[in-house]
Amino acid sequence: MKYKSMILGGIAAVSLLGAATVAQAASDTLRVAHYNNPAQGGMPYGTFGANGAYQLYAIFDGLTFVDDDKSVKPLLATEWTLTSPTTWVVKLRQGVTFHNGEAWNADAMIANVNAILSDPVVSKQQASRQLNAMASARKIDNYTVEVTTKKPDPLFPKRLHIMRAHEPKAWADLGAEGFSKTPVGAGSYKIVEWKADRITMTAYENAWRKPKMKNVDIVIIHEIATRIQAINSGQVDIAWALDNSAIALLDNAGNKVVLSKRHDTLNMILLHQKKESPVSDVRVRQALNYAYDKETFVKEVMGGITRTNGQPSESTATGFFEDIKPYPYDPEKAKKLLAEAGFPNGFDMKVELVTSSGEFGDTFQAMAQDFKKVGVNVELVNLSIPIFVQKVLAQKPWEGDAFTMMYEAHPMADLSRVMATHSCAFFAKHTCFEEIMPTIQAMDAEMDPVKREPLLRKVAQFYHDNAAVVFSHERPAIDGLSPKVKGYKLVNRVPSWSEIEVAD
């Protein structure tokens, strides 16, 4: 097996010493191990990636929910109607209260919209940047709001998935720092205590979706191997964000594996705008794609549970085209392209990455191993998640030629979601091809699906041909469950919080 040496072993020898102490088993407490807490704490519109979305969706409800099949389901909003190209009328669910007893209604929604648009803390959060196409909100009645957008937005109902409503009075009273530690939402659980290495929650007795468990204890265990040991030793009921090597280990210990769609792809982002870097040449970027044997990686390391990728969308998203094929493995073509670009003997490159989630480490070690065969020597530099986030947000500079990151269609399941982060539209501009921006802007504003499709195709083909990244594969979510856990699902990265229970 080509990548056999990368497959994790020896889990039983890993110690939990140094990790946060795991709570003792209790019939009324769901115990979960995760690799990180959201960097912004319990901010309502903070991250919606896996490291934060799982926890936050226990506390906050979105207005809508985008299912794995791209359909939009009602949550805090029950109806949404387009009344003009830039006007939506949103009907709200009645009878919902926040954890402090305040009502969810039109006034609360308008306060959330205003916070997204003008609050200096909320407006800078990750999810808020996906919602800033809103221009204003107007109350029609206690449970009806008219929202105006700055331009036509075909994704507006899907964007409401990440409009995780916070309680405005609590935000005003606590301030940003206080709210991040004691967030107040309308979700199934409310916060008992928020620490850097642990979150404890208890059921909200007046929740409109009442949970089946009384308490939740989420402990942070950074290493995959240690999370696997934690569930196999019975110290937790659920272990999130594992890798393919966990499947056999969990099965042998009598635990279950749940595979879910993440709606993203894993890639090596090539910093093409660094003129001093070899990756500024499209021939080099294409060569790296030909040099990587992604088919063998998916077969051997991922166990064939996913598929390779060669375009910015994943296969379940709008904007994916089956006929845009992944780059085939062709090391001879890679060497030829490198020579044409002026690098007949290859070059050295530095790649910055994080490895605490899923198959990140294995993927980029495999790339480095394959690149070496065509003369490209890779130095992999591991970053902490907080440092990585600072670099993505351009608060710190990238030191090398590339970094590792997903192309996320989550949660909107649409190519426009990917381009919001990986084009000139993103303020950090780690990927920026000015020539395709007019097409991206037209794609983002076209309401007619038939007229929109060729725009989507043009963008997808451009990113493939220009090799903005070294494409790898679609990422599955791999979670471990005790056989006592019932009702668990992970749909579009949202755990079924109100349905999970632990049987005696």
Residues 358 and 469 in one domain: yes
List the domain range (segments joined by +) for residue 138: 64-167
How confident is the model over 37-89, as pLDDT tens digits?
888 889 988 877 666 789 999 999 999 999 988 999 999 999 999 999 999 99
Residues 356 and 455 in one domain: yes
The pLDDT > 90 percentage for the chain reads: 81
State which H helix or E strand residue 479 sits in.
strand 469-481
193: left (phi > 0), else alpha (psi -120 to 50), else beta? beta
End residue of a domain, out of 167, 188, 223: 167
**pTM greater than the 0.75 cutoff:** yes
Within a domain: residue 15? no
Q: What pLDDT, on the 0 to 100 scale, is given for residue 468?
A: 96
End residue of a domain, out of 167, 187, 218: 167
DSSP secondary structure string for all residues of 320-354: --TTSPPPP--HHHHHHHHHHTT-TT-EEEEEEE-
Q: Please compute the mean of the pLDDT values over residues 423-447 and round it to a whole number.
A: 96
Within a domain: residue 388? yes
Please report, for the domain that includes residue 224, its CATH number: 3.40.190.10
Residues 154 and 273 in one domain: no
Query: At residue 371, what are phi and psi to the nearest 5 degrees?
Result: -60, -35
Query: At residue 414, what are phi and psi to the nearest 5 degrees?
Result: -155, 145
Question: Higher pLDDT residue, 53 or 228?
Answer: 228
How confident is the model over 253-307, as pLDDT tens digits?
999 999 998 889 999 999 999 999 999 999 999 999 999 999 999 999 999 999 9
**Interaxial angle between packed helices 282-291 and 360-372, expressed in degrees from 0 to 180 and rounded to the nearest 10:** 110
The number of folded domains in the chain is 3
Angstrom CA distances, 31 to 95, 459, 482, 484, stand at 30, 43, 10, 12
Q: Is pLDDT of 5 > 60?
A: no
Q: What pLDDT, on the 0 to 100 scale, is given for residue 11?
A: 36
Q: Report CA torsion sign: 459, 465, 467, 471.
A: positive
Q: Please compute the mean of the pLDDT values over residues 174-194 and round it to a whole number.
A: 95
Cis peptide, bond prior to residue 411, ω within 30 of zero: yes
Of 387, 359, 386, the C-alpha closest to 477 is 359
pLDDT mean across residues, the chain: 92
Residues 357 and 386 in one domain: yes
Euclidean distance between CA atoms 288 and 466, whole angstroms: 12
Q: Is pLDDT of 415 > 70?
A: yes
Please report, for the domain that includes residue 100, its CATH number: 3.90.76.10
Q: Please compute the mean of the pLDDT values over residues 196-225 and round it to a whole number.
A: 96
Residues 149 and 118 in one domain: yes
Supply 91's token pair.
């009907």
Residues 39 and 101 in one domain: no
Q: Is pLDDT of 16 > 60?
A: no
Residues 306 and 421 in one domain: yes
Euclidean distance between CA atoms 492 and 411, whole angstroms: 6
Q: What pLDDT, on the 0 to 100 scale, is given for residue 385?
A: 81
Euclidean distance between CA atoms 32 and 62, whole angstroms: 22
Please report, for the domain that includes residue 434, its CATH number: 3.10.105.10
Euclidean distance between CA atoms 359 and 365, whole angstroms: 10
Query: Quick one: CA torsion of 62, 157, 122, 107, rounded to 10 degrees?
Result: -70
**Interaxial angle between packed helices 282-291 and 331-340, expressed in degrees from 0 to 180 and rounded to the nearest 10:** 160
Residues 149 and 240 in one domain: no
Could you tell me if 59 and 218 are in contact, meaning their C-beta atoms sit under 8 angstroms apart?
Answer: no
Q: Please compute the mean of the pLDDT values over residues 447-470 and round it to a whole number.
A: 98
Euclidean distance between CA atoms 345 and 267, whole angstroms: 25
Residue 151 gets which letter from DSSP? S
Collect all residues with Cβ–Cβ distance below 8 Å to 63 and sequence separation of at least 6: 75, 76, 77, 90, 109, 160, 161, 163, 165
Under the banding of pLDDT at 50, 70 and 90, the label for residue 237 is very high
Under the banding of pLDDT at 50, 70 and 90, the label for residue 25 is low
Within a domain: residue 229? yes
Q: Which of 31-40, 42-51, 348-357, 414-423 has the lowest mean pLDDT?
A: 42-51
Euclidean distance between CA atoms 214 and 208, whole angstroms: 15
DSSP secondary structure string for all residues of 188-234: SEEEEEE-SSEEEEEE-TT-SS--S-SEEEEEE---HHHHHHHHHTT
Within a domain: residue 3? no
Within a domain: residue 417? yes
Angstrom CA distances, 90 to 87, 123, 130, stand at 10, 21, 18
Supply 52's token pair.
């934060």
End residue of a domain, out of 167, 192, 208: 167
Residues 282 and 221 in one domain: no
Residues 279 and 256 in one domain: no
Within a domain: residue 5? no
Residues 269 and 200 in one domain: no
Encoded amino acid at 145, one letter: V
Q: Please compute the mean of the pLDDT values over residues 308-325 and round it to a whole number.
A: 96
Euclidean distance between CA atoms 307 and 457, whole angstroms: 20
Residues 114 and 91 in one domain: yes
Q: Is pLDDT of 23 > 60?
A: no
Encoded amino acid at 120, one letter: P
Supply 129's token pair.
């940047």
Supply 436's token pair.
């395709």
Question: Higher pLDDT residue, 128 or 478?
Answer: 478
**What are residue 53's DSSP bridge partners?**
none
Q: What pLDDT, on the 0 to 100 scale, is given for residue 128?
A: 83
Q: Is pLDDT of 205 > 70?
A: yes
Q: What pLDDT, on the 0 to 100 scale, is given for residue 21?
A: 60
Q: Please compute the mean of the pLDDT values over residues 495-501 and round it to a whole number.
A: 97
Within a domain: residue 10? no
Under the banding of pLDDT at 50, 70 and 90, the label for residue 17 is very low
Under the banding of pLDDT at 50, 70 and 90, the label for residue 416 is very high
Within a domain: residue 2? no
Euclidean distance between CA atoms 36 and 388, whole angstroms: 13
The pLDDT > 70 percentage for the chain reads: 94
